[in-house]
Amino acid sequence: MLQANIVLRAHLVKVVPSITQLKLRLRALEATRRPLQRRLDRIVFPVLSLPPEIVSHIFAECLPCRPVDGSLDRDVPSAMLAPLLLLQICRTWREIALSTPHLWHYLHLISVPESTYKSIRMRQGVGTFKGAIGSVLLVFASRLRSISLHLAREEYEGLSDIGPFPILENLTISFPWYDAGLDHMKLFSTAPLLRHVFYKEGAKPRKFVLPCKDVSHLTCQAPLVQDAFLNFLQESPSVKEFKGFVRAGIRGHLRRIEVMTHDHLETLCLAPNSSTNYFPSFLASTSLRRFHTQHQMASLSIEWFTAAMPGLVDIELCNPTLLFFREFFGMLDRSQESGFLPHLKALTFRHCAFELDASMLQALSSRYTPTADNDTADLEFFQQIWPEGWEAIFIMDDPTIAACRELVEQGMAIHVGPVARNWVSL
């Protein structure tokens, strides 16, 4: 017992000096740390010295941009993106972000059957909201500029015509394709600034009664039959842009319609649909500037361009027939038809591999020759996009390439060939 006591005391004698040395070392490090901390505390990060108003503006610029296709539906809110990400940086940024109303002008609500929600959750990683949709909208009504709704039929049926929404400008309505039964649901009638409406999936104008009088931009994924498209134009006298596709009625039935004019329509983009190539030839608009098709329209005629849309500046047609292609270039030649599309500046033919002959090149050349008529415009841009794989069987000859390059030297931008290869610039 005595021997063990002697050993422990001897070991303790050795440990005590080490503890003393460590304490001295710790005091020395603390003495070094204190002046460094004082110097650091005197440094203000430049970003933290900015006025809150400037920081708020920077935060607003961090919001996700709209997709390039122009649709109104932004990305679903994510904790990895602004504005939610800004709340996680520091206390100062969190306070500024929460006090900046512009960051919270967008509301995205999802409430769909569980089977559908699971697929959305796996694809986008979003949450869901079910229940009192109307109550949520009313809470934020005064500050919302954009609303995106992805709801099932029963949710829309329980959503009364609430409001007002004094600053609402953008509205996206998504309705499951498989759902049915909803018709003429009245929504957002007190939204005086509503301008952009995007109907996604199965949502259509006839299913929802919106204040369309001042709507300027409409995108619709679901097909509109002839009468529905006509009704929309009549109810929306201020619309400037329509993107979607129009088809004949059930079993291809077409109601004879007299020519309808529209005074404000500037852009008409007809999207593809495998079940139809119908074109609403009854439409006429002296205000139309851009006309794009994304599928072939056999019913499209030269007479429609001549009589119905004289002010076109930008035309893009997909897979035109050979007869239409040649007839169009015949009219395009100013030496033959000086009054045809006098304001045309951009012309694109997609999925088109018809040979450019001498008469077509003459038509292009005539569109870039100075004239005494100040009311006519030069053709500044021409594209003929070949189908994929066509390059292996069709090659532009040297005289055609030389003629195109001469126009390029004069200032006309020309692309002939597949998307990835321009024969004119090789």
- Condensed to tens digits (0 to 9), the pLDDT of residues 406-421 reads 999 988 999 998 888 8
Residue 132: Cβ within 10 Å count? 12
How large is the angle between the packed helices 358-366 and 398-410, nearest 10 degrees? Answer: 0
Range with the poorest average pLDDT among 58-67, 232-241, 303-312: 58-67
* Residue 88, pLDDT above cutoff 60: yes
The counts of H helices and E strands in the chain are 11, 18
Average of per-residue pLDDT across 347-363: 90
The residue ranking higher by pLDDT, 335 or 250, is 335
What is residue 79's predicted lDDT score, i.e. its pLDDT? 65
Task: List the chain domain ranges.
Answer: 111-217
Residue 255 has pLDDT above 90, yes or no: no
Q: What is the mean pLDDT of the chain?
A: 79
Backbone torsions φ then ψ of 172, nearest 5 degrees: -115, 125
How many residues does the structure list for the chain?
A: 426
Whether residue 69 is predicted with pLDDT greater than 60 in this model: the reply is no
The pLDDT assigned to 70 comes to: 43
Buried residues in 293-324 as b, exposed as e (16+ CB within 10 A)? bbbbbeebeeebbeebbbebbbbbbbbbeeeb
- Provide the pLDDT for residue 251: 54
Asked whether the beta carbons of 140 and 167 are under 8 A apart, the reply is no
Q: pLDDT tens for residues 218-229?
A: 998 888 887 788
Q: Is the pLDDT of residue 200 over 90?
A: no
pLDDT in tens, 127-149: 344 456 777 777 788 888 888 88
Q: How far apart are CA 250 and CA 248, in angstroms?
A: 7
Identify the pLDDT of residue 149.
85
CA atoms within 13 A on the CB side of 352: 27
Candidate from 125-139, 197-211, 353-367 with smallest mean pLDDT: 125-139
pLDDT reading at 350 higher than 60: yes
Residue 115's pLDDT is what? 43
Q: How many Å apart are CA 219 and CA 196, to the nearest integer?
A: 8
What number is the average pLDDT over the span 149-168?
A: 79
Predicted local distance difference test score (pLDDT) of residue 241: 93
Residue with tokens 């900046």: 100
Q: What is the pLDDT of residues 258-276, one digit of tens each?
A: 677 888 899 999 886 645 5
pLDDT band, very low/low/confident/very high, at 279 (cuts 50, 70, 90): confident
pTM, entire model: 0.73
**359 pLDDT exceeds 50?**
yes
| Residue of 270, 204, 263 lying closest to 231 (CA atoms) | 204
- The predicted-structure confidence for 386-396, as pLDDT tens digits, reads as follows 988 776 667 77
What integer pLDDT is reported at residue 361 of this predicted model? 92
